[in-house]
Chain A
Amino acid sequence: LAKTTQPISMDSYEGQEVNITCSHNNIATNDYITWYQQFPSQGPRFIIQGYKTKVTNEVASLFIPADRKSSTLSLPRVSLSDTAVYYCLVGALADNNDMRFGAGTRLTVKP
């Protein structure tokens, strides 16, 4: 079970790029990296998933170095509405043992 470590909180300003890093030193060969976003009193929302190198969608980019022991979620030009908690999950697809969420990173975007 790959354990993840993220910063507890981060602050940013509107229009800036935000990078949130997740450490997963004991990631296994079959593990994927998935990020979720959660607003207060709502369920988390899937943002992006990747295995290696770089993945980009309309919301964010995910950078994964060659050793895969960490990953970075990049949010371009954040706005106030990006204030939320961001969770990094690591686990193998269809693996019943890897469905644990950590404490996440609380991102606060300021005007």
Chain B
Amino acid sequence: DGGITQSPKYLFRKEGQNVTLSCEQNLNHDAMYWYRQDPGQGLRLIYYSQIVNDFQKGDIAEGYSVSREKKESFPLTVTSAQKNPTAFYLCASSPAANYGYTFGSGTRLTVV
């Protein structure tokens, strides 16, 4: 079945460490996105990529980095520069922007 897979589902990080969240899709979608969601809040856009080897900052990119070396993969690194990284992270893909996003099941990151 086609879909989008995020791993791990839960992740714990010590302060000062970088951590990478995985996002893989086999939908042949060109566009991929990363969103952050805090408790009781909506989704905020971190980064997005419309094609391989190209990505753009969203509204809250500071402290995060991404790569898009393959069409299927869009990993997100949460760096030590991100001051409040504890959140629910969602990856999505779509054929193109606003054609209807398919979301992964999310990764819940906790800083300990």
Where the two chains meet, the residues of A that have a C-beta atom closer than 8 Å to any C-beta of B are 32, 34, 36, 41-46, 49, 87, 89, 91-96, 98-104
Contact = CB atoms under 8 A, between A and B. Distances in A.
B101 A93 contact: no
A9 to B, nearest CB: 11
Contacts of B58: 99
18 contacts: A32-B98, A36-B101, A41-B108, A42-B106, A43-B90, A44-B90, A44-B101, A45-B103, A89-B98, A93-B96, A93-B98, A94-B96, A94-B97, A94-B99, A95-B97, A96-B48, A99-B33, A101-B43
A43 B100 contact: no
A49 B45 CA distance: 20
A46 B102 contact: yes
A103 B41 contact: yes
Size bracket of the B interface:
20 to 34
A89 B48 CA distance: 17
Contacts of B63: none
B100 A103 contact: no
A93 B106 contact: no
Given A34-B100, A101-B44, A102-B42, 17 more contacts: A32-B98, A41-B108, A42-B105, A43-B91, A43-B103, A43-B104, A44-B43, A44-B101, A45-B103, A46-B102, A87-B42, A87-B43, A91-B98, A92-B98, A96-B50, A100-B45, A101-B43
A100 to B, nearest CB: 6
Contacts of A101: 35, 42-45
Contacts of A104: 42
Nearest to B91: A43
B92 interface: yes
Contacts of A92: 97-98
Contacts of A41: 88, 106, 108
Contacts of B106: 41-43
B64 to A, nearest CB: 16
Contacts of B41: 103
